[in-house]
Amino acid sequence: MSNNTKKTFENMLAKIKIYLAVIAIVLIILCIQNPIFIIPSIIVYGIIVAYAFWTNYKNKNELDKHIQELTVNVDTVVKNALINSPYPIVIVEEEGNIIWKSVSFVNEFANIDINNILKEILNEAKLELQNSQDGKKENRIYKQTKIGKKDYLITIEKIKTKSKNRKKKISDTFVMYLRDNTTELEALEKYEKSKICTGIIIIDSYDELLQSMGQEERTQVLTEIETKIYDWVASFEGIVLKTERERYVIIFEEQYLDQIIENKFEILGMAKDIETEGVIPTTLSIAIVAEGESNYEKLKETTSAMDLVLGRGGDQAVVRRNGKYEFFGGKVQEVEKRTKVKARTIATALEELIEEASNVLIMGHTNGDIDSMGSSLGIYRIVKTIGKPANIVNNTYGLTLKDFIEAVEQEEEYEGVIIDKSEALSLINEDTLLIVVDTHKKSYVEVPELLNKTNKIVVIDHHRRGPDYIDNAILTFHEAYASSAAELVTELLQYTKNETIITTFEAESLYAGIMVDTKNFTFKTGVRTFEAAAYLRKNNIDILKVKKWFQTDLESYNVISDIVKNTEVIRETIGIAEYTEEDEGANLICAKAADELLTISDITASFVIGKAKDTVFISGRSIGDINVQMILEKLRRWRTQHSRRGTIRKYYNI
């Protein structure tokens, strides 16, 4: 008897017992009132009981028969449904042996060797079932795979079966349902490709470009630029909207993005091919975004991406998708802006922020150099002029700062001004103004924890902007054309509302910062650089004292000489060297060696690779068309087991 039949029978029997109990009570009452009915009552009650049990037995047999017939019919239907299922179904043993297949499975994979494929999928599924999270016993798993020319979503269900022989262990049987979802995936892929990408194109240095040309040439050049932009966008069926005189918004389908990337944004080169009489080349900056919940969000992200491109100096393109940035181009040197309106505006805004703050912390980058420390001292003087408490956070410094730090410690003015990480964390609060100089990267600041302790952050930097930039700064003075952070701070000193009088030592520190980053005024200098230097020279600075800060000890000089001596030159202009010693100052040694390599004839780009603990340092320098920053962004923090010279070789396909 099945469980359902037994339950039904027990319910019927319970009801009969109730009826019999009621009849028995009635007969007992009748017999008590008149004893003459005792014998007839017993006879009648016996007949009723016998009839009840006979009727119950008959119903039970009929119910069993009905349920048995129904079970047979259901089993037949189920078997027919499985055998003739429109979806391929297969039952396999734990070892992967097929023990049953549906008709659809046989027809679907008649010409395909499916056994090995199923075994591989089953092995992966068993591992995933064993490693299911949170200790939950999962009996079902889904796998997407390609079999032949079709894509299948496979549902794998584990069913435990008991062996008839109790001594044998319980084995698992797996039912696999294969559903052809090729059409669905194709539709999904088509939908993904049809999504909208938004982009912005900006003509770099628009005002300076026009000023370098005559009226007739301006019209001709601008027309040629616009024609190239419209033709380029039309090549991938996009739409161009000119929103400002130098700004264009573009819209196109995502399916063309890979094509644009594969062609490496040829529009950048097309723009440079436009000949002009001026000295300023025609270049473009492009930002494209392929992610976002709405088109409004995409356009908003595109604007942020364009800020990133301009912060890196322009003449390049950036694509943001899947949460990552990809950069292309960027071979033209930054063009110096001739207007100082921005510096004056930033200086005014900075003073207002300082006045509103309870205290000010000034922070440079990790393993600080003279540029970051000199800039910090310049900002310190602005803060002290306003009358607010200020400290410079300097937790680490390299070999190049040893003599400079000793000089700072001898100045009574700065006693207790330079603090370490623990002191900085104890001083910072919500009303603290945190000023970051000579870096814009969250991971490269002296004490990253400070960035999360206040919302009042100012960034002053001159490096090309990277993806890891401080995105919550309320004021940013980021000019990639500038030679150094010291140059930018010097400009701010000249435009403060409250007249700021710097000390001779602070002027020497700022001057030293400019000298370091310009390699003694030979690299990345412009009119503004020399104007800043001239302003600092008026403060009676001691050039010999400044130069002593840069002097290298004999041991370090010999190390650098050995690195240069073992340099390998590839493609006639690229120098690659390796610093084999492992020490904490490896990054500074590599940087100095890379600078030294550029003094050698015909070398226009240098890479020096070193290691400290588990970190690989690659210092790159360039005075030619090679954008070392873009190369280093791809090679950053390679694992130590990689061939280090081979890394650069691989990049250049040598």
What's the pLDDT tens digit per position in 248-261? 999 999 999 999 99
Helix 527-537 to helix 504-517 angle (10° resolution) is 150
Q: How much is the pLDDT for 202?
A: 93
Give the pLDDT band (50/70/90) at residue 645.
very low
Question: Are 178 and 156 in contact, with CB atoms under 8 Å apart?
Answer: no
Length of the chain: 654
Q: How much is the pLDDT for 361?
A: 95
Prediction pTM value: 0.57
Residues 324 and 257: their CA atoms lie apart, in Å, by 15
Helices (H), 387-454: 402-409, 421-427
Residues 587 and 613: their CA atoms lie apart, in Å, by 12
Tell me what the mean pLDDT of segment 390-403 comes to.
76
* Amino acid found at 378: G
Q: Is 537 left (phi over 0), alpha (psi -120 to 50) or beta?
A: alpha
Helix 527-537 to helix 485-494 angle (10° resolution) is 60
Q: How much is the pLDDT for 234?
A: 94
Closest-CA residue to 400 (of 367, 353, 361, 443)? 367
Give the H/E segment covering residue 107.
helix 103-108
For residue 68, pLDDT over 70 is answered with no
Question: Are 124 and 138 in contact, with CB atoms under 8 Å apart?
Answer: no
What is the DSSP pairing of strand 359-363 with strand 390-393?
parallel
Q: Is 387 left (phi over 0), alpha (psi -120 to 50) or beta?
A: left
- B/e letters for 72-105, b = 16+ CB within 10 Å, e = fewer, are eeeeeeeeeeeeeeeebbbbbeeebeeeebbebb
Least confident piece of the model among 7-21, 392-406, 590-604: 7-21
Work out the number of other CB atoms within 10 angstroms of the CB of residue 316. Answer: 27
Q: How much is the pLDDT for 238?
A: 93
Percent of the chain topping pLDDT 70: 82
Cα-based distances in Å from 424 to 372, 381, 406, 571, 650: 17, 19, 21, 48, 43
Give the pLDDT band (50/70/90) at residue 155.
confident
Q: How much is the pLDDT for 471?
A: 80
Give the best-scoring range by mean pLDDT among 53-57, 61-65, 543-547: 543-547
Q: How much is the pLDDT for 652?
A: 40
Q: What is the largest CA-CA distance in the chain?
A: 142
Two structure tokens written together for 58: 């008959």
Tell me what the mean pLDDT of segment 288-303 comes to.
90
Question: Are 395 and 475 in contact, with CB atoms under 8 Å apart?
Answer: no
Residues 89 and 107: their CA atoms lie apart, in Å, by 11
Work out the number of other CB atoms within 10 angstroms of the CB of residue 545. Answer: 13
Tell me what the mean pLDDT of segment 236-247 comes to.
92
Q: Mean pLDDT across the chain, nearest whole number?
A: 80
Tell me what the mean pLDDT of segment 65-88 comes to.
62
Q: Give the list of residues 6+ apart from residue 10 with CB closer than 8 angstroms, or none.
A: none
Give the pLDDT band (50/70/90) at residue 585.
low
